[in-house]
Structure formats: structure tokens, C-alpha cells
């Protein structure tokens, strides 16, 4: 069996092992694959593993040996599912492998706004504390989280885990969710989307990207928000109208924008958020702790093993 990994570097830059896959077949790993290279590299493959390399209908139809596509991520929009199913090709994804790592990133970003630890570490290194006339030194607002309204859009695995940490900080959690009120843990209040926008001091996005949520955060929704709101996006870049958010940052309507995802990755140099004030943008690393990547690798191997045994799991 021929297994081709089209973009393995993101998952495994060298600190993990493809050994489990090598037990199941002949493995060829490419760090990165451009669209023009997909056919030649995968033309004899029985199994393809992909993270961000797109497999559209034309590509899938041109791969006669293909039986299985393993997406090395939770989102599987890189694969034309209908085209794969029409060929009898099984497609799997990796659910819930990075939940706690993403939660950790959400609050790392939030604390970067409220407590500014990197700023003050650099200020101290530069001698500002040593020159202070007082025992303490600060030159930015410092914000306590307890008592703030923390709005969460989407209460899936990650959203629910974020809610629990927000509650531990003493915040009141407001959620826009399809879950019934009686199914929500104590401390989480179900609200309308408009109610969440108007009442939240902090808003964190954890909903899937759909036609309904594309640019959910836009000029109109921002106008409903409190002045000084902190906005966090670790979900999908296109949930946000980046130009509208940049303008709101410049006007002060949004206090800070925290994101680990952007609409195009890597971002173009003229992305308006890169020059906007009070942005805290990390390069899509929330999922990339070694522990999360180890889980991803393990689940990906288990997915393929289950498929080969005739009992697919995590099929989409």
C-alpha cells in the first residue's frame, strides 16, 4: 500500500515519527506540496494524508488508486467530500486533539492584553523598573478579569473548555449556542447573538466557518458591541471582516484584537490588521504544542488502521 503525505512539515518538523504509518505501507513524506505537484506526487497513492493541500474534484478524479484521504486537522474543507464519496473514497479527520492547547492560547492572548507580561519583562530588561522612583512600575492600563462578561460564540469542545477557564477567573460567561439551556453547566448563560455582542467585555469565537458565520464580525456587529471590547479569534480567520476590525481598533471601539488565525495564511503584507494598533496576532500556533501534535499523529494512525480493518472511525 502506498501512503503519500503531502504536507507533513506542519505536523512533524522533525520532532515526531511517522513510524506507525510505515508499519502499514510504503510511506513517502513531502514537507510541502504546491497545487501543481499534487497529481505527480499522489498519482499512485492508495492513501493520502493532507493538512492544508487542497484535494478538489479534478484532483481526486485524477487519482485512480486512491481509497482513503486522512485530513491531518479537524476542519476538512480542503477536501471535496462529495467527489470523494462518489468515488467510494473514505475521508477522515482528527477531532478534539488540540482542545486544551487552544484554550491555553486563548488565555495567553487575553492575558497579553490585560497584564502585558512581555511588555513589562522588556521594560524591566531595559532598566525602567531600576530607574523607577517607586517600588513598582507600570505605564499601561492593567485589567482584572474577575467580574467581566466573557462572551463565547459556539460551545463545542473548545468553547466549553474556554468557558470553564473563564468561570475559574471569576468571569460571567455568556454563550451563543445551539445547546438547550438545561444542558448548559452552571454559570453559563445562553443569550442571543445580539445580546452577546452588546453585553460582553470580551468576545471569543469558537464557531465553525459556514455561509452564516462568514464575516460574522463586521462593521454592523461591531457597532453593537461595547466600546473597549476585547475580541479573540482562535477559530477560523474568515469569521472576521479584517478591514472592519482594523478600523474599529483605530477608532478605539475595539480595545484589542487577539487572533491565532487570519483570512489568508500566511497573511499578505498589506493585511490591514498587521498595521492596526493593539493587535496580538500569533501565526496559527494554538494547535502546535508537541503534546497536541502527538495526539494528532496518534489519532491519524488509528484512523488509518481502523480503515484498513474495515471499520472506519472519524469518517466525514
Indicate which residues carry an active-site annotation. Answer: 236, 265, 284
Residues in contact with 269: Cβ distance below 8 Å, sequence separation at least 6, in sequence order? none
Question: Side-chain half-sphere of 256: how many Cα atoms within 13 Å?
Answer: 21
Provide the 3-class DSSP secondary structure of residue 276. coil
DSSP string, 51-113: SS--B-HHHHHT-TT--EEEESSS--TTB-HHHHHHTT-EEE--TTSSHHHHHHHHHHHHHHH
Q: List, in order, residues 6 or more apart from 163 with CB less than 8 Å away.
A: 150, 152, 155, 173, 175, 185, 187, 188
> Which of helix, strand or coil describes residue 41?
helix
Look at the block and give the residue holding cell 494512525: 301
Give CA–CA dist 143/278, Å, rounded. 15
Helix 99-114 with 117-125: angle, nearest 10 deg: 60
The answer to whether 158 and 99 have CB atoms below 8 angstroms apart is: yes
Q: Kindly list the distances between the CA atom of residue 284 and the CA atoms of 134, 209, 281, 304, in Å, as whole numbers in the listed order.
A: 40, 16, 9, 26
- Using DSSP's 3-state secondary structure scheme, residue 247 falls into helix
Amino acid at each position: 500500500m502506498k501512503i503519500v503525505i503531502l504536507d507533513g512539515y506542519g505536523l512533524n518538523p522533525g520532532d515526531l515519527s511517522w513510524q506507525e504509518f510505515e508499519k502499514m505501507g510504503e510511506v513517502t513524506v513531502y514537507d510541502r506540496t504546491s497545487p501543481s505537484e499534487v497529481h505527480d506526487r499522489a498519482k499512485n497513492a492508495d492513501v493520502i494524508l493532507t493538512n492544508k493541500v487542497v484535494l478538489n474534484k479534478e484532483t481526486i478524479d485524477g487519482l485512480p488508486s486512491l481509497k482513503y484521504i486522512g485530513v491531518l486537522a479537524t476542519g476538512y474543507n480542503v477536501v471535496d467530500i462529495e467527489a470523494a464519496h462518489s468515488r467510494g473514497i473514505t475521508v477522515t479527520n482528527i477531532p478534539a486533539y488540540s482542545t486544551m492547547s487552544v484554550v491555553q492560547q486563548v488565555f495567553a492572548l487575553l492575558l497579553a492584553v490585560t497584564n502585558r507580561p512581555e511588555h513589562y519583562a522588556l521594560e524591566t530588561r531595559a532598566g525602567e523598573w531600576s530607574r523607577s522612583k517607586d517600588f513598582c512600575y507600570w505605564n499601561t492600563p492593567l485589567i482584572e478579569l474577575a467580574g467581566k462578561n466573557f462572551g463565547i460564540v459556539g460551545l463545542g469542545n473548545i468553547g466549553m473548555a474556554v468557558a470553564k477557564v473563564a468561570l475559574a477567573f471569576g468571569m460571567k460567561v455568556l454563550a451563543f449556542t445551539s445547546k438547550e439551556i438545561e444542558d448548559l453547566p452552571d454559570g453559563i448563560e445562553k443569550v442571543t447573538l445580539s445580546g452577546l455582542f452588546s453585553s460582553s467585555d470580551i468576545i471569543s469565537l469558537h464557531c465553525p466557518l459556514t455561509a452564516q458565520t462568514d464575516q460574522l464580525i463586521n462593521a454592523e456587529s461591531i457597532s453593537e458591541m461595547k466600546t473597549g471590547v476585547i475580541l479573540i479569534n482562535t477559530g477560523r480567520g474568515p469569521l472576521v471582516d479584517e478591514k472592519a476590525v482594523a478600523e474599529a481598533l483605530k477608532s478605539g471601539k475595539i480595545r484589542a484584537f487577539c487572533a491565532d488565525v487570519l483570512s489568508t495564511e500566511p497573511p499578505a503584507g498589506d493585511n490591514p490588521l498587521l498595521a492596526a494598533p493593539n493587535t496580538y496576532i500569533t501565526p496559527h500556533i494554538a494547535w502546535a504544542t508537541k503534546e497536541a501534535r502527538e495526539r494528532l499523529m496518534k489519532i491519524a494512525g488509528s484512523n488509518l488502521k481502523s480503515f484498513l480493518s474495515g471499520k472506519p472511525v472519524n469518517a466525514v
